[in-house]
């Protein structure tokens, strides 16, 4: 019975509520953070489970009243509303019963890098950034540029964003991969269509207590900032480069005038990358088929193509093609691509779970 399957979630939610009020947990920041996050992830299914229970009780009560001379007609009307609602809730519960991604409600770092195509790729990094920013605005999220390296003409050779908002990771986690763009560059006098590519990586933001870094594993260099950035550029050693020796990961930050702020931001990005590495290793150990989010920046391994002459956007993973590229980019309407992706992954997960 479906209600029996839902009861453990309700019990666990109530158990966490009791634990969070315990003095022992209040003194353990990491444990309290983990429990709060777990409880937050259970809220939707517990709320839906409670409504489902009420609807089932309502159906049972009204069916018993069908033969009643005075209340029978009223019971029929009630059932006309309750029975379809029960079916709707059962469909919602099937999705909610799928294994949840513990990172879904986290803020995210989005790393974008120009690949094949030189200046045109850098320009498209800027265009996709603007589209993501519009989408974030539509969702009520906030976008912060953590670090940037500007292109020679316009756009960015590299751009790291921090997107803050409820469910940011759940919505944008499928954006990782190679994005290909086909259009006539502004610098092209012959009107020929050029193809370029950029890579996008999406990583959840992590709390300081989740990733412990040994200071002896870090090589920290300071240098003068380069590129456009105001009077402080090339006058103070404010830029910071951190190398994590065990993994070889390198993070550079120069967007702030303060060396201390640049170091702090670089450390946060490094922790996100290390957490992402841990996730990859765990998934590989569990046998998950996870392809690396960041490709080589060439035209292989693409997840999406943006064809400007045909006003076409295609997501190759689910074979979805829409002829409204302009509206999606200019209006930040990425839900038109993202929602079908999420639905596809949910459908695949439901097949595997036998739901």
In the chain, domain spans? 2-96, 215-285
Give the pairing of strands 177-183 and 302-307.
parallel
Secondary-structure percent of the chain, ordered helix, strand, coil, rounded to 5: 50, 20, 30
Show the tokens assigned to 211: 């990733």
With a cut of 50, which residues of the chain have pLDDT below it?
229-234, 289-300
Taken in order 50, 350, 108, 196, the sign of the CA dihedral is: negative
Do 109 and 160 meet the contact criterion of CB atoms below 8 Å apart? yes
pLDDT (0 to 100) of residue 124 = 94
Question: Is 205:188 a contact under the CB 8 Å cutoff?
Answer: no
Topology of the domain covering 2-96: Methane Monooxygenase Hydroxylase; Chain G, domain 1 (1.20.58)
> What is the pLDDT at residue 286?
62
Question: 304 with 179: CB under 8 angstroms?
Answer: yes
CATH of 215-285, one of 3.30.160.20, 3.30.300.30, 2.70.160.11, 3.40.1180.10: 3.30.160.20
Q: Which among 62, 121, 120, 111 has a CA at the least distance from the CA of 86?
A: 62
Q: How far apart, in whole angstroms, are the C-alpha atoms of residue 4 and residue 177?
A: 40
> What's the pTM?
0.71
Instruction: Give dist(CA 189, CA 155) in Å, integer.
Output: 20
Contact 293, 202 (CB under 8 A): yes
DSSP 158-181: EEEEEEESTTHHHHHGGG-EEEEE
What pLDDT score does 67 carry?
Answer: 86
Q: Would the CATH topology of 2-96 be identical to that of 215-285?
A: no
For 188, residues 6+ apart whose C-beta sits below 8 A from its C-beta are: 194
Q: What is the pLDDT of residue 236?
A: 63
pLDDT of the residue at 4:
84
CA distance readout (Å), 320 to 111, 129, 304, 305, 341: 24, 22, 9, 11, 9
DSSP-based three-state secondary structure for 110? strand
Phi, psi for residue 178 in degrees, rounded to 5? -95, 125
User: Which residues neighbour 21 within 8 Å (Cβ) at sequence distance 6 or greater?
Assistant: none
**Sign of torsion, CA 280 281 283 288?**
positive
Residue 199 pLDDT: 92
239 beta partners:
223
Given a contact cutoff of 8 angstroms between Cβ atoms, the answer to whether 206 and 273 are in contact is no
């Amino acid at each position: 019975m479906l209600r029996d399957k839902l009861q453990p979630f309700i019990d666990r939610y109530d158990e966490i509520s009791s634990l969070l009020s315990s003095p022992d947990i209040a003194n353990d920041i990491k444990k309290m953070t983990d429990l709060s996050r777990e409880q937050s992830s259970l809220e939707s299914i517990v709320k839906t489970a409670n409504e489902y229970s009420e609807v089932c009780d309502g159906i049972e009560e009204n069916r018993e009243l069908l033969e009643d001379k005075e209340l029978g007609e009223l019971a029929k009307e009630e059932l006309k509303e309750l029975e379809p609602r029960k079916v709707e809730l059962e469909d919602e519960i099937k999705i909610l019963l799928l294994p949840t991604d513990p990172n879904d409600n986290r803020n995210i770092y989005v790393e974008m890098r120009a690949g094949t195509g030189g200046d045109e790729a850098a320009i498209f990094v800027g265009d996709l950034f603007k589209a993501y920013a519009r989408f974030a605005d539509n969702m009520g999220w906030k976008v912060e540029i953590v670090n940037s390296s500007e292109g020679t003409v316009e756009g960015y050779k590299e751009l790291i964003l921090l997107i803050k908002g409820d469910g940011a990771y759940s919505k944008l986690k499928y954006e990782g991969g190679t994005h290909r763009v086909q259009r006539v560059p502004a610098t092209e006098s012959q009107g020929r269509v050029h193809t370029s590519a950029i890579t996008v990586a999406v990583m959840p933001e992590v709390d300081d207590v989740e990733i412990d870094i040994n200071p002896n594993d870090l090589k920290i260099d300071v240098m003068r900032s380069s590129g456009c950035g105001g009077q402080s550029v090339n006058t103070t050693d404010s830029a910071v480069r951190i190398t994590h020796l065990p993994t070889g990961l390198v993070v550079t930050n120069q967007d702030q005038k303060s060396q201390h702020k640049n170091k702090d931001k670089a450390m946060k990005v490094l922790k996100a990358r290390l957490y992402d590495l841990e996730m990859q290793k765990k998934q590989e150990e569990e046998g998950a088929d996870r392809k690396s989010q960041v490709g080589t920046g060439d035209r292989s391994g693409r997840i999406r193509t943006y064809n400007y002459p045909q006003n076409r956007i295609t997501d190759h993973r689910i074979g979805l093609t829409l002829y409204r590229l302009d509206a999606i980019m200019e209006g930040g309407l990425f839900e038109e691509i993202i929602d079908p992706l999420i639905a596809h992954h949910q459908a695949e997960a439901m097949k595997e779970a036998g739901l």
